[in-house]
Amino acid sequence: MTDPDRCTGPWNRPTANAVLLVGNRLGDPATPYEDAVSTSHLLGRARLLTADVSGHGVACNDRDKCVDHWLDDYLVNLALPPVGTVCAADRTPFDPPSASR
């Protein structure tokens, strides 16, 4: 079964605003980093933000303030991180929850 409303491309057309992609280099089998890299090249206008965070789900979970900063800035201001930006993890998957939450 296919969704009749799905977007089938073309993917290489420039968009009004750049697309921000987040790719995780550390052990995310659900969304491999290599796929984020190839997608960033496939899209007409994209920027890849690299995360070095263990596991799946690097955004909005108190594990990487750098990723959250760039996502917030992109969504509010359409600001992009510099080319080649890499965000390191603030917490590991097994750290206790932070006191701020």
Distances in Å between the Cα of 88 and the Cα atoms of 13, 53, 59, 78, 91 are 31, 6, 12, 22, 9
Domain count, the chain: 1
Query: How many C-beta atoms surround the C-beta of residue 81 within 10 A?
Result: 21
Mean pLDDT, 10 residues at a time, the chain of 101 residues: 78 87 85 91 92 75 81 95 91 66 47
Residue 12, in any domain of the structure: no
Amino acid at residue number 42: L
At 53 the pLDDT is: 81
User: What is the pTM assigned to this prediction?
Assistant: 0.78
Reduced to 3 states, what is the DSSP secondary structure of residue 77?
A: helix
Residue 59, in any domain of the structure: yes
Reduced to 3 states, what is the DSSP secondary structure of residue 30?
A: coil
At 60 the pLDDT is: 65
At 99 the pLDDT is: 58
CB 36 within 8 A of CB 62: no
Residues 6+ apart with CB under 8 A from 20: 46, 47, 49, 70, 71, 74, 80, 81
Residue 57, in any domain of the structure: yes
Residue 101, in any domain of the structure: no
At 98 the pLDDT is: 65
Range of the domain at 65: 19-88
At 101 the pLDDT is: 47
